[in-house]
Amino acid sequence: MIDLGIVRPGSTLNIPFGSFAASTGAPSAVTNYADADIQVYKGTLGASSTTQRASAAGLTAATTFDSLTGINWLTINLADNTTAGFWAAGSDYVVVVSDITVDSQTLRFPVARFTIGHHAAIL
């Protein structure tokens, strides 16, 4: 999992991840990967939470980055406020890719964590 640390409010986050064949470890294409497979969970002051973003708006899934099989990408637009108040200064977030298929296997895994701004900052 990538720790992005403290990020700027309203910024766009780009997060890569690899996918590999189970038997050989060779790069393998992802199938069934859509924006809705990107799940973002919000916590406060380091506490974990099951509060999930209610909308996939502002989340973008991409496979085969730059024509490279096995290199995948997700983008999070922190300026998208479709789920009102979800992005908040001082809140911690965990990004999960859920239920994608690689080499005929269904996978679910955390890819990144980050904090928006500083705790108690005014946006």
| Structure confidence at residue 50 (pLDDT) | 82
Whole-number pLDDT of residue 47? 61
Collect contacts of 26-30 with beta carbons under 8 A, ≥24 apart: 26/70, 27/68, 27/69, 27/70, 27/71, 28/69, 28/70, 28/102, 28/103, 29/63, 29/64, 29/69, 29/70, 29/102, 30/63, 30/72, 30/100, 30/101, 30/102
| Residues of the chain with confidence (pLDDT) below 50 | none
- pLDDT of amino acid 49: 78
pLDDT, one tens digit per residue, over 80-99 is 999 999 999 889 999 999 99
pLDDT value, residue 57: 97
Tell me what pLDDT residue 97 has.
97
| Fold classification of 2-116 (topology level) | Immunoglobulin-like (2.60.40)
